Amino acid sequence: MILRRNDFVVFLVVAFGLSWLFALWPWIGDKKVPSVFVSSAAVWMMLTPTLAVLALWWYRRRSMPELVAETGLMLGSRPRRTVWLIVAAWFGPAVFVWSAFGVSVLLGVNEFDFSLGVDWTVLIILEALVGSTLAALPLALGEELAGAAGCNHS
């Protein structure tokens, strides 16, 4: 439950205002917009809840340690276990997908192209494992922050 109406209004105005701003530019103009620009606008739209939470915290003049404490972003009473669970959540799905691909290659269902060389292939796999997972994290964090910040009292 959000305790102050102004907080709710600030969050909505910033989140929806910025998302409309990012979504509006592909439709302005007469020329066809390349899909790269449309997908980058979608990525920026994912970031708007995070920016709205940060704007709300700036509006309420709260410090960053208060934000971390009130939203539950600390590591808890068992930080080592929490870090291992975070690592498993980040890398587990990607490792599972690539393992399934490896098993399908071993069974002969798919073929793996080593024409780039083994070094480049390994680098591409590592980039796919790490890059996509870590790149989406800050963009989707605002939804979690908004939910947690709205449930705590001022």
pLDDT exceeding 90 applies to what percent of the chain?
Answer: 5
Give residue 153's pLDDT band: very low, low, confident or very high (50, 70, 90).
Answer: very low
Q: What is the pLDDT of residues 48-93, one digit of tens each?
A: 888 888 888 888 887 878 777 777 677 778 889 988 988 888 778 7
Task: Return the domain boundaries, the chain.
Answer: 5-151
Q: Could you write out the DSSP letters of every residue in 124-146?
A: HHHHHHHHHHHHHHHHHHHHHHH
Instruction: Convert 60-103 into a string of H (helix), E (strand) and C (coil).
Output: CCCCHHHHHHHHCCCCCCCHHHHHHHHHHHHHHHHHHHHHHHHH
pLDDT (average), residues 34-61: 78
The span from the CA of 38 to the CA of 22, in Å, is 9
